[in-house]
Amino acid sequence: MMHRPVRRVFMFKNFLIYLTKKSVSPKGISRLALVLLVAIGILLVLISIPIYREAEERGKIRMDKGHEQTAWDSAYMKYMLDGGPFTAIYDSENKEFVYRVESMREFDRITAYGESKENIGKVILLNVSKDGEINVKWIGREEYRKVNHGD
């Protein structure tokens, strides 16, 4: 058991000697400089991946907020023109309201446009009251099934 740690230290020492030798490649870069450049490159990639993913998620959240605002504006305009309460799913692709969805097959025809982690694969359900209060809620296939079919 005593031989292993000593051997590992000896191997590490040989590795350091190998890296710090004065040997220079024909292009003029020493082994140590090359290893350091590769290590810095790997470190930069490892740091930038989470930063990129976080920025991407913030963009998706902003996109979802934009869909919510568009749906709210459309519902407000409809309420101001018609004056009555309604409940509908907002179809973002066709920019229209879907009032009655009788089956899950019809629900699946509406393209899901939620993009953030919490809204992915969902659509917006709007509920406008008599007083003009507009509630915006993201619902997915499972939530719709529970609400309308009692499953």
**What pLDDT, in 10s, does the model give residues 47-106?**
999 999 999 999 999 999 999 999 999 999 999 998 889 888 888 888 888 877 777 777
Segment among 2-16, 95-109, 116-130 with least mean pLDDT: 2-16
Residue 1 has pLDDT above 50, yes or no: no
Separation between Cα atoms, residue 64 and residue 77, nearest integer Å: 20
Is residue 98 helix, strand or coil?
strand
Please, which pLDDT band fits residue 42 given cuts at 50, 70 and 90?
Answer: very high
Percentage of the chain beyond pLDDT 90 is 38
CB atoms within 10 A of CB 82: 10
pLDDT at 4: 54
pLDDT at 14: 72
pLDDT at 40: 93
Residue 150 has pLDDT above 60, yes or no: no
Residue 19 has pLDDT above 70, yes or no: no
CB atoms within 10 A of CB 13: 10
pLDDT at 29: 64
What is the pTM (predicted TM-score) of this model? 0.67
What does the block give as tokens for 49? 């991946």
Instruction: Starting at the earlier edge strand, list the strands of the sheet with 123-128.
Output: 96-98, 86-91, 123-128, 134-139
pLDDT at 109: 81
